[in-house]
Structure 1
Amino acid sequence: MPSSSFSVPWHLNPRRLGMEARVAPQVAEFKYKEQELKKLTLKVNHHEGNIKFLKSELNAIEETCIDLGIKLGNYHASAAASANNDTSQEAEGRTIQSILDLDKTAAGIICQLKVDHHETASKMPLVKNILGIVATLGKVNDDNLSRLLSEYLGMDNMLALVCKTSDGVKSLEKYDEDGSIDKNSGVHGLGRTIGKFLDGRFTVFCLENSRPFSGNVNFDDPQRKLILERPRLRDGKSPPGFLDFAVNMIHLDQAHLRGLTASGNGLRETLFYSLFSHLQVYKTRADIERALPFISDGAISLDGGILRPNGSFCLGYSKNLEVKFAVSLGGSSLPIDISDMEEQLQLKNWEKERLLEDMKREEDLLRQVKELYSKQKEELMDSLTKPTVAQTAYDLPTTRSPATPGSNPFGAKPSRMR
């Protein structure tokens, strides 16, 4: 009878116990480094979140500073014009007179009817439906800007009639059965009644059929300006020289700010948005060239540069158009107390400096944490290359007890039954 043999259980094997004693510190060190790496990941996320928040705060302050700068600029421009004994009424009168001088145009005829025959014209359905002429429906706070915007639109648009409804547009011109213009009706007929004969085509805008601005309006602004996304560089700032969008630089009378369409829209959301869209205004031509990647719907500059939405530049000397927007030298869009505006701007600039310091500090901390993260990650990866408990155990031989079910300590092959 073969003698029985005894094998030490694996978990009590001295070789395994010795191996575990050697590997245990390595495992503990690995887990510690793994936890530290997770903590550093949370710190990275924390600092990145802080930087993102500070950037949003800086963008908001930058927006406020730009708006305050525009208002201050408008105020100073208006004050300078007032010093030259010029008034809004005189500027508006010159615009109307320039239209009256073009007495063979539809705008000239309608304008003369409203000026010289106001009582009669106010009772005519055709004239009542005409809100006005583009050149008379908006004002700006600077004569140079007036000239540039007028040149950008061109005479056809500046002299365009603006009707409230599509029925009003239809009544402006009638046709015979053969398709010829009936010169005894519409604007043609009105011209004949005052001895004026319409020559050539004319442009008409219909507020009822216009596609209004689909974004939001700043209801807190007395001029109900459109909320448009300013062009931004990677650092969140607007391109150098950017002033504003042309559509928001038009000053409107209170009666034209809302309620002109069934949906309650005013001239800014309808007429002037269709004319200018996202046209940007810059200080110089050089500013436009540097900001080209951020310009989609054209741009103009105060030194005479014009970039059309199709990407073409207008070169040469600018035109001195006969009809321009009137220059507004007062109104609700101008600040009453200039010192308050300047104090606000100064406070915002201080806030901006403080936020920039906070951002620099956060960026330095983020850089330090990222460097430490990279270093500890490298150490963690190095520790993975060292022998582990599993790897060492895999290399040890396996010894089984003869009593273990299924064991065959003698390596004998079972005989095949015949």
Structure 2
Amino acid sequence: MSQHNPQQQQQQLSVVAVPDDSPAQNGGSSHPQSLMSMSEKLEEELRSLGLKIKRHEDNMKLIRTEKNKLEESILDLQVILGKHSSATPETENNGHSSNQSEEETAEHILRREKSAAGIFLQLKRLHISQAYQLSVTKDVLGVVAMLGRVDDDSLSRSVIVLICYSCISHCRL
């Protein structure tokens, strides 16, 4: 059945033309019986539409409930992540601070000259103030390896993709 809004359906159901003095086509029954039959059909269609609307409303309630549960889970995970990151002190690995580790990651990305992330970091280093003004890079949020880190440095360095605000920006790169 095609999807219409309720007003369109109501208009479609209420348009009925019946001549005053012609017998109905269903076995020659009289005009009042024909109107009663059409009225019953319309009432049945209306009941059917009402049930469909109720079913859709119930589905919407279920979806809202699931959405609220997911939002709560996301908030819980953000709190846990915040506690985890604030509880983890900046440790020194072989005399390197986390800032130096970030520089190492950037150098690793720059070695991959032909990757989008490598080109982006080259632009950023060469033209720091102008890099974000270029039409190609203005919607770039950052390089994944630079935005988020994991405990495993090799894994962190191997994920070197760009995060863009829009698909159009991604396609330009």
Alignment TM class, shorter chain as reference = 0.3 to 0.5
TM-score (norm 2): 0.44
Greater relative contact order (Cα 8 A, min sep 6): structure 1 or 2? 1
TM-score (norm 1): 0.22
